[in-house]
Structure 1
Amino acid sequence: MLVEWDWWTVDFGYAHAGAVGVLVGGSEPGPAYCDVGSGPHVPSTTHWSAYDGRAGRPRAEALRAVCACGWRSAAQYPLDWDTIGDQPLYEADVDLSGPLADWTAHLSVVRDAAVPLPEPLAALLVEMAGQLTATAADAPLAAMRAAGVLERIAARVGRETAGALCDDGMPAEAVATALGTTRSKALVLLLNAQDR
């Protein structure tokens, strides 16, 4: 199944990737299948635009924001099928600003609960991202090398700090909240640190 996230941030990556979700009969439908002819593999997707009632797929009644962490917006945005008509949803002029605003508000809650980065470190990360982007345009191999160095630094520091958190007995839920990630990702970090 193809999961297509509409939004994500550098801060939280795909742990809090957001998308426009659909509701059919008041609940989220399963994946929409795409008929591509004969064969054993039938592709599917959960992208909102596939739920237009065409080719036997369910027809969305409303949209709402969803997040990879499992959060679902309480707000629902009904689709006006009289205006949309028979055109596919991906061609219709559907206003997605409501779901985007709801997901952004969800991220604000996640960001407020996460441990803040010290200002000098946050500024250094912004500067480093700018330098890497500029280097990628001028000297792509140098940028790749720098990215590799950063990966190794991050992996080493991550193992060391996760090990310290394990030694302190910090629960995965607390780590997840502090990092702005999911419990399962925090648990993987802590378990990997125990294997060091």
Structure 2
Amino acid sequence: MGEGGVLVDWDWWTVDFGDAHAGAVGVLVGGGEPGPVYFDVGSGPDVPSTSHWTAYDGRSRRPRAEALRAVCACGWRGAAEYPLDWETIGDQPLYEADVDLAGPLADWTAHLSVVRDAAVPLPERLAALLVEMAEQLNATAADAPLAALRAAGVLERIAARAGRESAGALCDDGMSAEAVATALGTTHSKALVLLLSAQDR
């Protein structure tokens, strides 16, 4: 769930950056981004909503998307707009329409390249170990899920401890949350939480 109970369905995600740079197809209506779409499910305090691009098809009094563009969870928005051809789409729901998303995906991928280039590189040996570990964990999950789950727990604890120690060293060096966010390819708020947590060690 996103902020305020809005269901956020990210279309793209990477292991490198997780939800900090999850990508999606955004919509434009009247030149701007519309708010979330709400679904009428009868009475009750909770009204489900979404901001997924396929919901903006003009059906059931919902706004009709005029164009698509790439968006990222970090707040970045693609400059290129990709108009929707409603004459071709017709009356069908957007989720059933054959809409080409290659443009928004390419724009988001280019954005990730900029983020990746600004991030601190991993040492080659460590990067190779992480790839090997991921492959081994995936194979173990298929053959022995309990063992894989136990291994994941061990890795979480190792990572948490190493993360606290590393963040603590950065705090001692006086590194700013902005610099940490750029180096990690994450958001300012997540970097700040890392640094503040390290101060409690």
TM range (shorter): over 0.9
What's 1:145 paired with? 150
Matched, 1:90 2:95: yes
What's 2:191 paired with? 186
Following superposition, the deviation at residue 38 of structure 1 comes to 2.9
Matched, 1:161 2:175: no
Following superposition, the deviation at residue 105 of structure 1 comes to 0.4
What's 2:65 paired with? 60
What's 2:104 paired with? 99
Q: Deviations over 1:51-75 (max 9, x none)?
A: 0011111100000000000000000
Matched, 1:174 2:162: no
Match of 1:135 among 140, 153, 163: 140
Distance 1:40 1:120 in 2: 53
Q: Deviations over 1:116-175 (max 9, x none)?
A: 001110000000000001111111111111101100000000000000000110000000
* Number of residue equivalences: 196
Distance 1:82 1:141 in 2: 52
Structure 1 unaligned segments of length 5 or more: list them. none
Match of 1:81 among 86, 96, 100: 86
**SS at 2:136 equivalent:** helix
Following superposition, the deviation at residue 37 of structure 1 comes to 2.6
Following superposition, the deviation at residue 42 of structure 1 comes to 1.5
TM-score normalised according to structure 1 size: 0.99
What's 1:70 paired with? 75
Q: Deviations over 1:101-121 (max 9, x none)?
A: 000000000000000001110
Following superposition, the deviation at residue 40 of structure 1 comes to 2.7
Partner amino acid, structure 1, of 2:35: G
Percent identity over paired residues = 88
Following superposition, the deviation at residue 39 of structure 1 comes to 2.6
What's 2:129 paired with? 124
TM-score normalised according to structure 2 size: 0.96
Q: Deviations over 1:19-60 (max 9, x none)?
A: 000000000000011122333321100000000011111100
Structure 2 unaligned segments of length 5 or more: list them. 1-5
**SS at 1:95 equivalent:** coil
Distance 1:193 1:21 in 2: 36
Distance 2:157 2:107 in 1: 36
Match of 1:112 among 91, 94, 117: 117
Partner amino acid, structure 2, of 1:187: L
What's 1:25 paired with? 30
Alignment of 1:28-47 (within 5 A): 28-47=33-52
Distance 1:56 1:34 in 2: 10
37-46 vs 68-77, greater mean Cα deviation: 37-46
